[in-house]
Amino acid sequence: MITRRTIRIVATGRYDGQTEWYESFASNETMSSARAFAVALLGRGTGRCLDIGCGTGRALHLLAERGWRVVGTDVSADQLEVAGRRARDVAHLVRADAHTLPFVDSDFDAAISVFTHTDFDDLRAAFTEAFRVLRPGSRFVYLGVHPCFASPFVARAAAADVDDAVALLRPGYRQPGWKVLPPDPQSVKVRARVGINHLPLSNFLNAFIGAGFSISRVEEPGGDDPPLFLAVAAVKPNGPREPREHDQVGVEPDALHRLTVEPRQEQRTSPQPRGAAPGTSRRSCPT
Ligand SMILES: C[S@@+](CC[C@H](N)C(=O)[O-])C[C@H]1O[C@@H](n2cnc3c(N)ncnc32)[C@H](O)[C@@H]1O
């Protein structure tokens, strides 16, 4: 059911005017099999399934083939127009911002989102909305580019010049946020078209946990080494949301990031007391 309260588009349709590029970019074999993998991970069902950030609708038929009654949602009118041509017969399409979905609580029996986490402004907010619109006990599957191995700071092609290297790392992994190149309508690079909102792995996984999901399975599909994609299957638990350990103790993520791991000091060997287990001494270890 669509509610009136949230029919407002907050995010910008960065993909408006980009559908020709996106269709050629998103139709390759690697991305198609990743999408099929995500749908297989979600599995079959007969209820209502929401595809969040459905784009040009490439997963909609796959979901319908597995029995779901499909609703696709995206913030970009242009992307939805292509999705409509592709899948109007199998899916209901709704233009909406993933951060403020126009659906009532517990409206869906499953949800999926593919290749979107680097497009959302606030992943935890988007996943919190996914959580809200899901019925307790239902599944959510996300598949996206691997936060560690498929980001702007990972150079794969450049590694060809280095013996035994498959990827080179540039600085930047720890800095979340938008990575953009000057807009260029001729470029095939995502950063020059729509930008990439990079998240380190910890932020990515904490977005599921913070939204309230229980992670049930994690996969790195595909033959690439290192992997290009990361897929997470999660469940909205039955019953009221329990406070997580970190909700209670109020751990400050910034404080954690400031912690450094000191290199181990060379330990002086002191005589072991008789009967002591190897590796234990009376002096307590500073670590
Ligand atoms: C990389 S495309 C992925 C599309 C599709 N899931 C696929 O597999 O091809 C990212 C999509 O997310 C949409 N998007 C970005 N921000 C959004 C938001 N805040 N709310 C809803 N959709 C959003 C974009 O318009 C775009 O269609």
Whether residue 286 has pLDDT greater than 50: no
Q: Mean of the pLDDT values across residues 111-119?
A: 97
Q: Which residues of 172-195 are buried (b: 16+ CB within 10 A; e: fewer)?
A: ebeebeebeeeeeeeeeebbbbbb
Q: Which residue from 30, 74, 82, 189 has its CB within 8 A of the most atoms of ligand 1, so it is best to mutate?
A: 74
What are the extents of the domains in the chain?
19-258
Q: Are 209 and 215 in contact (CB under 8 A)?
A: yes
Question: Tens of pLDDT along 172-206?
Answer: 999 999 988 888 888 888 887 888 999 999 999 99
Whether residue 228 has pLDDT greater than 90: yes
What pTM does this model have?
Answer: 0.85
Q: Decide whether any atom of ligand 1 lies within 6 Å of the 107 Cβ.
A: no
Most distant pair of Cα atoms in the chain: their distance: 80
Ligand 1 geometric centre to CA of 120 (Å): 8
Q: Decide whether any atom of ligand 1 lies within 6 Å of the 18 Cβ.
A: no
Q: Are 120 and 99 in contact (CB under 8 A)?
A: yes
Ligand 1 geometric centre to CA of 11 (Å): 11
Ligand 1 geometric centre to CA of 75 (Å): 7
Q: Decide whether any atom of ligand 1 lies within 6 Å of the 21 Cβ.
A: no
Question: Tens of pLDDT along 57-88?
Answer: 999 999 999 999 999 999 999 999 999 999 99
Contacts of 178 (CB under 8 A, 6+ apart): 195, 196, 197, 198
Residue 189, pLDDT score: 85
The CA-to-CA distance between both ends of the chain, in Å, stands at: 55
Helix residue ranges per DSSP H, 54-149: 60-65, 77-87, 123-133
Other C-beta atoms closer than 10 Å to the C-beta of 279 total 7
Residue 10, pLDDT score: 53
Residue percentage of the chain with pLDDT more than 90: 67
Q: Decide whether any atom of ligand 1 lies within 6 Å of the 146 Cβ.
A: no
Is 19-258 in CATH node 3.40.50.150?
A: yes
Q: Whole-angstrom Cα distance, residue 111 to residue 141?
A: 7
